[in-house]
Amino acid sequence: MGYYTTYNLSINIQNDDIISEFVSENEDAADAIDVYGNSIDIVKWYDHEEHLREFSKNYPTLIFRLEGEGENYDDIWIKYFKNGLCQTCKAIITFDPFDESKLK
């Protein structure tokens, strides 16, 4: 079975050739995103972090932004990659406090 996630990839400059290069070199990425970084389908891509860490070393000044949304409702994150390094930012879901004046 496995765990499925939807992915979107972007970079901090307008250059579709770089994402296209990544997709053409990585079969798992090609199953997940198109040459523009847009999601194709919900997939199992367990090695996405390893793949982007390695690929980002080819463009050490660029920032790659990978967005993921998993099967679980609270599994939403963004990972930033630069020159082999990664920062993971997980979504924080909050609710407004109760306010009796808003009851209708």
Q: For the chain, 104 residues long, give each residue's pLDDT as a single digit of tens.
A: 789 999 999 999 987 799 999 999 999 999 999 999 999 999 999 999 999 999 999 999 999 999 999 999 999 999 999 999 999 999 999 999 999 999 99
What is the rounded end-to-end Cα distance, in angstroms, of the chain?
45
- C-beta of residue 80 within 8 angstroms of C-beta of residue 68: no
Which residue, 65, 53, 76, is CA-closest to 5? 76
pLDDT score of 69:
97
Residue entry with tokens 């307008």: 14
Q: Where are the beta strands (DSSP E) in 22-93?
A: 64-70, 76-82, 85-90
Length of the chain: 104
pTM: 0.90
pLDDT score of 14:
82
**Which string of b and e fits 11-24 if b means at least 16 CB within 10 Å?**
beeeeeebbeebbe
pLDDT score of 74:
92
Rg (CA), the chain: 16
Backbone φ and ψ for 76, nearest 5 degrees, come out as -130, 130
- What domain range is 69 assigned to? 5-102
pLDDT score of 42:
95
Token pair recorded at residue 20? 């296209």
Structural domain count of the chain: 1
